[in-house]
A and B are shown apart, each in its own frame.
Chain A
Amino acid sequence: MTSTTHAPGVRIRDLTVVYRTPAGELPAVRGVDLELVPGTITGVVGESGSGKSTLALSLLNAVQPPGRIAAGAVEIDGLGDVLTLGGEDLRRTRGRQVGYVFQAAQNSLNPLKTIGKQLLDLGRSHDVADPRALVRDAKVLLARMGLDGGRVLDSYQHELSGGMRQRVGIMLALVLNAKVVVLDEPTTALDMITQATILRIIREVHEERELTTLVITHDVGAIAEVADGLAVMYGGRIVEHGPVRKVLATPRHPYTQGLIRAIPRLSGDISLARALPGRPPTLGTLPAQGCVFRERCERRLAVCDTDDPVVITRNGRSVACHAVERAAAVAMRKEYA
């Protein structure tokens, strides 16, 4: 198992996750295609209600009722479609093959047990034959992240700072040699300096252990620091996807453009920054047809009310927008004319 040299690829295909509500089943994630290239960090950025956390949970096939994965597939190299797994197979996959790091602020650690005890619990539930080796691996990982392993394993979660807890979370996700790692809001609620440290650690550990990593966050800055690829989610759809530097430098989807313009920055003319008008949709306010962003869009066309824009991929960049497509078509006609 530890001799794997290549990170696995992950392909999310046409994924739809619905939540049961009094108004019927509503899609939190709808028709999402996303490929995680082996050995890369993909960042998914989205605001509240964009469906990004639901997407992350789908990778573990862990969407809880009233949610339900209604359609699609999540293929992980060497595992097959995770969505078809159940029972024991699924339980083993979680932790062994797919590591999940929860938000530090949410108390994902047991307050009544030391970190070491929780580590041994993890080992036992995955039938680890040699607990000593597990503890050794954990200490190596913690030391790699700048912590005193022995001290941390003897500590309760309340004895650790937010940054330390976050590193413990990363250790627990990686200690069983998972090669696919999902980090949900890894830096939310951390201080600036701690955040910078955690982001550096994520990048370094990712490279050293040859992982395929998915980072879910609302913070474009955090993604910009660590990710190779950036997927922008809005209203349950991925509206734009491409190499992070290119998407930031020349965002194409009107939402991505508005989002980047709305980020408070340290340098530059502050009068150029402005908030996006309107507000993010919730499950209840998502339009049943047409583009999910049209209510806040300054490039809205008639077709946006009726037709869902399809994702068009060109030169490694994907966008789902009627206005962008129309402009591209016009430009292309001019070129051939």
Chain B
Amino acid sequence: MITGTGVTKTYRQRGSILGARQVPALRGVDFAVPRGGAVSFIGESGCGKTTLGRIIAGLETYDDGDIVIDGTSMSGLGHRARQPFFRRVQLIHQDPYSALNPTRTIHQTLSAPLALRARQTGRSRSWTDERAEELLSLVGIDPGYVLPRYPHQLSGGMRQRVVIARALTMDPDVLVADEAVSMIDVSLRLGILSLLKDLRVRLGVGVLFITHDIATARYIGDDSELYVIYRGQVVERGPTETIIAEPVHPYTQSLLSAIPVLHGLERPGEEQVVPTEALDEGRADEGCLFARRCPFVTERCEHEMPVLGRGGGEVQRHACFHPQPRSVIPVGAGQ
């Protein structure tokens, strides 16, 4: 179980005339990835979703808030002491082409982390070969075919499966999949997504799924939770199916409205929302972060910042003063 409370990260840009410019990447994000659970973060590029993934994987530090892994707070620990905890979180990159060392066979790629694992758990060296085959079978590829080969001899889908197998060598509690299918051929995407779903069930590994393609978030499990993040702030969260079917935040509605309609199979939702302006990250932060682009903006939104509810009881699942469910997603043409 990994939880984050108020995770905050600000990048400082140097070299500006006015000194360091502060770019907030995350503004107090709360989240929880339960054991074997699935959580998706969706948003536009620059919204902070990749930063969050890197922080959870221990590749980036955070400025404020806390991350708790299996009951241990990371904030109280030094860099070295954190490492064994963050090793339980493994990151799967977007690009399976650059994630694997081109000069090493898949056998070599998997052997190195497995040798480390064997030392940690007191197993013999011979275990690593067995385990490599086991892991490759688990991710749905033929070990006999793949092990002696180099990455360039494999297709994109196969490479991504190898990357997943490599992540599993560390027996992680959580896999962070950052746009893990966006470079995979369309006909193979669902295969990778259902593999992630499978791993949740078979290994009890949690999945933190980061994507800009909301539809893919439905396929990592029907119990998954969806977080919509905008300019570093979570603006809406809840069960994936609920958020997609009944979004209440205008930003979520804009994202869902933008998804292409498969004309002939679907017709557009009746209340589609189009932002009034393009994304402009440089603007001042007073009021609601989405106010300037929001078609439903009111006086209050300009001056006051709505936040997601915290604490016990009924938790407010959106950060909006005027939440209103709208039917924005495409509907099947037959319905």
Interface residues, chain A, with chain B CB atoms under 8 Å away: 47-48, 146, 161-163, 191-197, 199, 218-222, 224-225, 244-249, 258-260, 262-268, 270, 273-276, 279-280, 282
| Docked pose: A270 CA to B216 CA in angstroms | 10
Given contacts A218-B185, A246-B264, A280-B155, contact A266 B259 (CB under 8 A): yes
Contact A263 B262 (CB under 8 A): yes
Cα of A163 to Cα of B45 in the assembled complex, Å = 12
B157 interface contact, C-beta 8 A: yes
- B46 closest partner in A (C-beta): A191
Contact A192 B258 (CB under 8 A): yes
**In the complex, what distance in Å separates the CA atom of A335 from the CA atom of B218?**
44
B333 interfacial by beta-carbon distance below 8 Å: yes
Q: State whether A267 and B263 are in contact (beta carbons under 8 Å apart), knowing that A195-B258, A279-B158, A280-B185 are contacts in the complex.
A: no
Asked whether, in the complex, the Cβ of A220 is within 8 Å of the Cβ of B186, the reply is yes
Partner of B260 from the list A161, A199, A258, A273 (CB cut-off 8 Å) is A199
Contact indicator B44/A265 (Cβ below 8 Å): no
Which residues in A have their C-beta under 8 angstroms from that of B187?
47, 258-259, 262, 275-276, 280
Rounded to whole angstroms, the CA-CA distance of A225 and B245 in the bound complex is 21
Taking CB atoms, residues of chain B closer than 8 Å to A264 are 189-190, 193, 213, 215-216, 218-219
CA distance A55 to B186 in the complex (A): 20
* Contact status A262-B265, CB under 8 Å: no
Q: Find A279's partner among B157, B215, B333 (CB 8 Å cutoff).
A: B157
| Nearest residue, chain A, Cβ from B158 | A279
Chain B residue with the shortest CB-CB distance to A47 = B185
Q: Is B261 an interface residue (CB 8 A)?
A: yes
B 173-197 contacts with A by CB, 8 A: 185-191, 193-194
Q: Could you list 8 further interchain pairs (A-B, Cβ under 8 angstroms) beyond the known A193-B254, A222-B260, A266-B215?
A: A47-B186, A193-B278, A221-B262, A224-B261, A248-B264, A266-B218, A275-B191, A282-B155
B258 touches A260 (CB 8 A): no
Instruction: From A191, A193, A195, A197, name the one whose CB has the most chain B CB atoms within 10 angstroms.
Output: A193
Asked whether B256 lies within 8 Å of A273 as measured between CB atoms, the reply is no
Pair B156/A260 contact, Cβ less than 8 Å: no
Q: What count of chain B residues pass the 8 Å CB interface test?
A: 47
The docked-state distance in angstroms from the alpha carbon of A199 to that of B329 is 17
Tell me, rounded to whole Å, the shortest Cβ–Cβ distance linking A141 to chain B.
18
List 13 A-B pairs, Cβ < 8 Å.
A161-B279, A193-B255, A220-B262, A224-B261, A224-B262, A260-B262, A262-B187, A264-B190, A264-B215, A265-B266, A266-B330, A267-B329, A279-B188
B37-66 interface (Cβ within 8 A of A): 44-45
Q: Is the CB of B186 within 8 A of A259?
A: yes
Q: Is B275 interfacial (CB 8 A cutoff)?
A: yes
Distance of A265 Cα from B189 Cα, bound (Å): 12
Task: Please determine whether B259 and A221 come into contact, CB atoms closer than 8 angstroms.
Answer: yes
Q: CA–CA, A146 to B193, complex, Å?
A: 37
Determine if B285 is an interface residue (Cβ-Cβ < 8 Å).
Answer: no
Once bound together, how far apart are the Cα atoms of A225 and B260, in whole Å?
Answer: 6
The complex places the Cα of A193 from the Cα of B214 at a distance, in Å, of 12
The reply to whether the CB of B326 lies closer than 8 angstroms to some CB of chain A is no
- A199 — which chain B residues lie within 8 A by C-beta? 260
With A48-B185, A248-B262, A276-B187: A194-B278 Cβ-Cβ less than 8 Å? yes
Q: How far is the CA of A222 from the CA of B263 in the complex (A)?
A: 10
CB neighbours (8 Å) of B261 from chain A are 221, 224-225
Q: Do the beta carbons of A276 and B254 come within 8 Å of each other?
A: no
**In the assembled complex, which residues on chain B have CB atoms less than 8 Å from the CB atom of A194?**
44, 278
> For B102, what are the chain A residues with a Cβ–Cβ distance below 8 Å?
none
Rounded to whole Å, the gap between the CB of B82 and the closest CB of chain A is: 33
| CB contact list, B70-105 vs A, under 8 A | none
Determine how close the nearest CB of chain A comes to the CB of B213; give it in whole angstroms. Answer: 7
B257 interface residue, CB < 8 Å from A?
yes
B235 at the interface (CB under 8 A from A): no
Give the residues from 265 to 307 in chain B that come closer than 8 angstroms, CB to CB, to chain A: 265-266, 274-275, 278-279
A224 touches B186 (CB 8 A): no
Residues of A near B332 (CB, < 8 A) are 267-268
What residues of chain B lie closer than 8 Å to A282, measured between beta carbons? 155
CA distance A163 to B278 in the complex (A): 10
Chain A residues, Cβ within 8 Å of B275: 193
Q: How far is the CA of A247 from the CA of B265 in the complex (A)?
A: 10
Residue B134 lies at the interface, judged by CB distance under 8 Å to chain A: no
B331 interfacial contact with A, CB 8 Å: yes
In contact, A266 and B190 (Cβ under 8 angstroms): no
Query: Shortest beta-carbon distance, A158 to chain B, in Å?
Result: 14
Write out, one digit per residue, whether chain B residues 209-243 have a CB within 8 A of any chain A CB (1) or not (0): 00011111011001000000000000000000000
Q: Which residue of B lies closest to A221 (CB)?
A: B260
Residues of A within 8 A of B188 (CB): 262, 275-276, 279
In the assembled complex, how far is the CB of residue A288 from the closest CB belonging to chain B, in whole angstroms?
Answer: 20
Bound together, the chains give a CA A249 to CA B333 distance in angstroms of 9
Given A191-B212, A192-B44, A270-B219, decide whether A262 and B186 contact each other with a Cβ distance below 8 A: yes
**Given A249-B264, A259-B187, A280-B155, A196-B257 contact (CB < 8 Å):** yes
Chain B contacts for A276, CB-based, 8 A:
187-188
A219 neighbours in B (Cβ, 8 Å): 186, 260
Given A193-B275, A224-B263, A244-B263, the answer on whether A267 and B331 have CB atoms closer than 8 Å is: yes
Residues of B contacting A218 with CB < 8 Å?
A: 185-186
> Cβ of B265 and Cβ of A260 under 8 Å apart?
yes
Chain B positions within 8 Å of A279 at CB level: 155, 157-158, 185, 188
Q: Are B156 and A225 in contact (CB under 8 A)?
A: no
Closest chain A residue, CB of each to CB of B335: A267
Q: How far does the alpha carbon of A247 sit from the alpha carbon of B214 in the complex, in Å?
A: 24
Closest to B214 in A: A266
Contact (Cβ within 8 A) A192 B259: yes
- Give the Cβ gap from B188 to chain A, nearest Cβ, in Å: 6
What's the Cα separation between A260 and B333 when bound, in Å? 15
Find the B residue at minimum CB distance from A284: B153
